Amino acid sequence: TATPRVLSGIQPTADSFHLGNYLGALRQWVALQDSHQAFYCVVDLHAITVEHDPETLRRRTRVAVAQLLAMGLDPERATVFVQSQVPEHAELAWILGCITGFGEAGRMTQFKDKSSKQGTSGTTVGLFTYPILQAADILLYSPEPGPGERVLQVPVGEDQRQHLELTRTLAQRFNHRFGETFVPPGAYIPETAAKITDLQEPTAKMSKSASSPQGIIDVLEEPGPMRKKIMRAVTDTGTEVRFDEENKAGIANLLRIFSALEGVPIEDLERRYEGAGYGRFKKELAALVVDTFTPIRERTLKLLDDQEQLDRVLAEGADRAGAVARGTMEVVRDRVGF
């Protein structure tokens, strides 16, 4: 049987990815490039669903790609590309939009959450149809139906389940109306993905949009501030390094980070730091975080120094993704009657 495919995307909406992105998603991307035929895209079309500045977007897209490569994505083993460089994403999104019910799209809870912050009059149609573009991102890489078919897996967090469900619905609806075209993708919930919380508000998600600068650790941050943020992370009035989500959310979060970065079970860490106090625990975690991200920061900066090389990587990624996407669209266009 053929190697399964995996598809995932990330928005270029900040100047650096953060620790939550790394442990919750990007680290798994790197791991999956060997077991899967992997397609990873920086989704700049999604990034313009909210007001944006063109130069900032251009810079962030490139920094995002450089970070992905610096984290270990290898253009020889995975297809890394920028969404807007493969125009089929927008074309398929249009077609899928035409088989999506208005009410069906209106039930997407992420849109309700995001638009309620801005009020529906301040929101865009692009934000409303975002999940349809996401469905297109996925289905373009849906393998051909038939014997020996590959499986397309999409790594998703809990918040993306509803969007993946819509993708599956649209795939089935398209097949039903126009003939077998898409293999509905499966969800892939990586076991190793850790949910990381805010260092200052340890019950809230670490998030680029909601976290304060002290609550979030950026992958590209300098060692000094990185250490300081860990040392100043909110804990509790106790002294025990013990995993207790309910009563010790801060320590629980630091334990999750430690365990994920070092690859050791949390129980081992509890034993290692028995009687040690929070100071030593935090200091050693800070060293681990700095050691993990320093080489990634250095490689990112080096990649950004050679813009021509980065352009070559992107052109090649767009070529490879584009070849698959054009193949899918050839069938889709014919089925639809174009």
Active site residues: 114, 205, 208
Distance, in Å, from the CA atom of 181 to the CA atom of 141, rounded to the nearest integer, reads: 11
Would you count residue 166 as binding ligand ADP (CB under 6 A)? no
Stretch 176-215 residues interacting with ligand ADP (CB under 6 A):
195-196, 205-209
Q: Backbone phi, then psi, for 5, in 5-degree steps?
A: -100, 155
Residue 25 binds: one of ligand ADP, Na ion, none (C-beta under 5 to 8 A by kind): ligand ADP
* Bridge partners for 5 per DSSP: 37, 152
Question: Site size for ligand ADP, by CB under 6 A?
Answer: 15
User: Judged by CB, which is closer to ligand ADP: 10, or 69?
Assistant: 10
Would you count residue 7 as binding ligand ADP (CB under 6 A)? no
Residue 207 binds: one of Na ion, ligand ADP, none (C-beta under 5 to 8 A by kind): ligand ADP
Collect all residues with Cβ–Cβ distance below 8 Å to 101 and sequence separation of at least 6.
none
* CA-wise closest residue to 97 among 129, 121, 138: 129
Min dist. Cβ of residue 234 to Na ion (A): 40
Distance, in Å, from the CA atom of 179 to the CA atom of 336, rounded to the nearest integer, reads: 10
Would you count residue 20 as binding ligand ADP (CB under 6 A)? yes
Q: Please check if 13 is assigned to a binding site.
A: yes
Q: Please check if 169 is assigned to a binding site.
A: no
Beta 37-42 vs 186-188: how paired, if at all?
Answer: unpaired
Residue 77 binds: one of Na ion, ligand ADP, none (C-beta under 5 to 8 A by kind): Na ion
Amino acid (one-letter) located at 57: L
Q: Please check if 137 is assigned to a binding site.
A: yes
CA dist 203 to 53, 143, 195, Å? 32, 40, 11
Candidates 5, 6, 11, 324; binder of ligand ADP (CB under 6 A) is 11
* CA-wise closest residue to 216 among 20, 11, 60: 20
Can you give the binding site for Na ion, defined by CB under 5 A? Answer: 33, 38, 77
Min dist. Cβ of residue 22 to ligand ADP (A): 8
Stretch 99-158 residues interacting with ligand ADP (CB under 6 A):
157
How many CB atoms are closer than 10 A to CB 22? 26
Q: Is 246 left (phi over 0), alpha (psi -120 to 50) or beta?
A: alpha
* CA-wise closest residue to 67 among 7, 14, 17: 17
Distance, in Å, from the CA atom of 274 to the CA atom of 295, rounded to the nearest integer, reads: 31
- Residue numbers belonging to the annotated binding site for ATP: 11-13, 20-21, 157-159, 196, 205-209
- Residue numbers belonging to the annotated binding site: 11-13, 20-21, 137, 157-159, 196, 205-209
Q: Which residues bind ligand ADP (CB under 6 A)?
A: 10-11, 20-21, 23-25, 157, 195-196, 205-209
- Residue numbers belonging to the annotated binding site for L-tryptophan: 137
